[in-house]
Amino acid sequence: MSPEATTVAEVLSSPWKIDGLTIKNRFVLSPMAVLQPTKDGHPSDQTIAFLTTRARGGAGLLIIGGGVATERGNQEAPFQPLMRFDRDDFIPGLKRMVDAVHAHDVPIFAQIFPSFGAMGVPAEGRPTLAASPKPVHMGAPRLPHGFYIPGGRTNPTPLEITKEDILKVQDQTVAAVRRAKAAGFDGIELGAHMRYLYSSFLSPRTNWRIDEYGGSAENRARILTDTVRAIRAEVGTDYPVGLRMSVNDHLPDGQGPEEFAETAAIIAKEGLGYIALTDGNYESMDNNLPSSSGSMLEHAEPQAFRAALPNTPLLLSSTYDPQQSADAIANGHGDGIMLARQLLADPEFPNKVLQGRLDEIVWCDHDNSCLRRLIFNVPVRCHKNPAMGREAVLGGVKEPVSVKLKRPVEAALIAATGSPTLMGIADKLASSKSKASKN
């Protein structure tokens, strides 16, 4: 950033670097599993139309959500279908998508999930695996606005992953990164957040191991230091390799930003191009999907990471207010501003901010109907932007018949779960039922 950059537009339009890649401005599409790939895991015309719409809208970097690195990851994914990186025959379809984004002169990174840990869906003969056998509990009052799980939900308890499986996942993850690079992705991001497999190692709350993967910060970081080292041996030092981390458990028995930053600094020694900061996890989802801008800065999470990692670019989440995001960058708290829901509601947000058209912005209302659709595994839509999720159809691509038929049922379900009254009744019924069964 030039020392003279003082206005919001000047700061947010300043170029910056991740490893060997220059990014033209500070706006980053945050990864979201809203891409509607084909049932068998290839990018679809809709995937491409969604991404190119955000590239045209002015984002400087796109990170695609939820790509799976392993066959296990694909089978146990809580959100279906996802884009796949677990076989070479996925490379041509991924390349078609990457080329379409590059036509807009915007780089694209692949988020890679090796396995979903305690958030995975188990099946006969395929238990979920995590650092330690700690299930995830989601429920009131730790849910985001407009999001209900009547009676709460505790996922099946995962098994402790063996060293043999850790090394197998590492090899498969490196192979997935090789495929992403071969498809032309400009960088990759490892997902170590939200109680997925890697994140379960980082906090003592979810890692009780007594082997070389548990205990000290070095040991809890080991699965990722080993994986990043192996990835670097595959892709070299210049290729962007980032890490997405939950940076604060926000739970009474959890870990805070200083402790997460200590672990991150150990992993970064192997060569991290950036760290994407994610607040909270599935058990503190109210912190993960806040309804206002800047809570991460209020919790001093970027500040703790900056102190521990002075030279590693940091991506901030949920800091969408233009003045606040420009101040955060000017003050050195972060380098890139990730936008998730705001870019569903208004793909043109970056252009509007940089061109001073603030009164034209369509603001996300944080009512989270997009998320309710995600948990019901139906195509995500945004009620503030009727074109979202339908960019290809609106551009003239024919809509698949199966999607058309589901609509009335979807609409009724999503509307019902968005009603505080209906869900309050469901919540009471669920808790009285569980009390009755205990008595």
* The residue type at 205: R
Q: At what angle do helices 217-235 and 163-182 cross, to 10 degrees?
A: 40
173 binds ligand SF4 (CB under 6 A): no
Q: Binding marks (x or -) toward ligand FMN, 312..341, rule CB under 6 A?
A: -----xx--------------------xxx
Q: What is the DSSP letter of 391?
A: H
- State residue 108 phi and psi, 5-degree precision: -135, 130
Tokens, residue 342: 């705001």
Residues 113-172 that bind ligand FMN (CB under 6 A): none
DSSP state of 148: -
Q: Residue 157 or residue 295: which is nearer to ligand FMN going by CB?
A: 295
Query: Which residue, 262 or 321, has its beta carbon nearer to ligand SF4?
Result: 321
Can you list the positions of beta strands (E) in 319-366?
A: 336-339
On whether the CB atoms of residues 61 and 77 are closer than 8 A, the answer is no
Q: Tell me if 104 sits within 8 A of 47, measured CB to CB.
A: no
Residue spans of alpha helices (H) in 57-203: 71-76, 91-102, 163-182, 197-202
Which residue is it, tokens 């000017």?
Answer: 330
Given candidates 43, 57, 60, 66, which one binds ligand FMN under the rule CB under 6 A?
Answer: 66
Size of the site for ligand SF4 (CB under 6 A): 13
**What is the C-alpha separation between 399 and 389, in angstroms, rounded?**
11
Going by C-alpha positions, the residue among 317, 258, 424 that lies closest to residue 32 is 317
In whole angstroms, the minimum distance from the beta carbon of 203 to ligand SF4 comes to 28
CB of 427 to ligand FMN, least distance (A): 22
Q: In this structure, what token pair is assigned to residue 435? A: 């009390």
Q: Which of 226, 365, 377, 379 binds ligand SF4 (CB under 6 A)?
A: 365
Which of 18/339 has CB closer to ligand FMN? Answer: 339
Out of 25, 132, 317, 369, the only residue in the binding site for ligand SF4 (CB under 6 A) is 369
Which residue in the set 100, 315, 371, 378 belongs to the binding site for ligand FMN (CB under 6 A)? 371
From 132, 278, 284, 303, residue interacting with ligand FMN (rule: CB under 6 A): 278
Binding positions for ligand SF4, rule: CB under 6 A: 341, 344-345, 364-370, 382-384
Binding positions for ligand FMN, rule: CB under 6 A: 30-34, 65-66, 111, 191, 244, 278, 289, 317-318, 339-342, 370-371, 374, 380
